């Protein structure tokens, strides 16, 4: 936990290298003056609308994991089987069952390694548990303070 905060903070991996590179020609490079005034106005209105939507109580950032094409592309290596095993490992970690969690995080790391990727969150949690010999401290409350 972050000092003074009762909010959970989680991390996730993305594989940005899997995004296709889209060629964008800058106005300066092409010798143009950029977008026309109506185009800039429409773009500004679009940004304002998207921002307003994000401030609605009904907005759920988690929905982006299924609806945003770029996020979906960057997360395609993570299968349902991977997520199921990672969730089990995380629950064991939070409940103080660190030896079980450590073993499960080994599995999630191996699942991604077989695809040529590194599982950063699993590796980070394993490093932390290893500092305590894979045994949760007596004062363990299901979360740790960040440095």
pLDDT, tens only, 39-95: 888 888 888 888 888 888 888 888 888 898 998 999 888 899 999 999 999 999 999
CA distance 42 to 64: 23
Q: CB 18: neighbour CB atoms within 10 A?
A: 13
- Confirm whether pTM is higher than 0.85: no
Q: What percent of the chain has pLDDT over 90?
A: 41
CA distance 15 to 77: 8
Sign for the CA dihedral angle at 103, 104, 107, 108 comes to: negative
Between the alpha carbon of residue 97 and those of residues 107, 131, 134, 144, the distances in Å are 16, 15, 9, 14
């Amino acid at each position: 936990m972050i000092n003074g905060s009762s909010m959970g903070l989680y991390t996730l991996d993305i594989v940005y290298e899997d995004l296709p590179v889209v060629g964008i020609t800058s106005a300066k490079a092409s010798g143009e003056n950029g977008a026309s005034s109506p185009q800039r106005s429409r773009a500004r209105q679009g940004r304002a609308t998207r921002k307003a939507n994000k401030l609605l109580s009904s907005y759920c950032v988690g929905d982006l994991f299924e609806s945003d094409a770029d996020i979906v592309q960057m997360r395609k290596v993570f299968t349902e089987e991977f997520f199921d095993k990672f969730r089990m490992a995380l629950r064991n970690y939070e409940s103080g069952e660190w030896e079980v969690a450590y073993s499960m995080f080994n599995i999630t790391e191996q699942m991604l390694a077989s695809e040529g990727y590194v599982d950063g969150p699993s590796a980070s949690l394993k490093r932390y548990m290893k500092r305590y010999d894979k045994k949760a401290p007596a004062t363990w409350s299901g979360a740790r303070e960040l440095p």
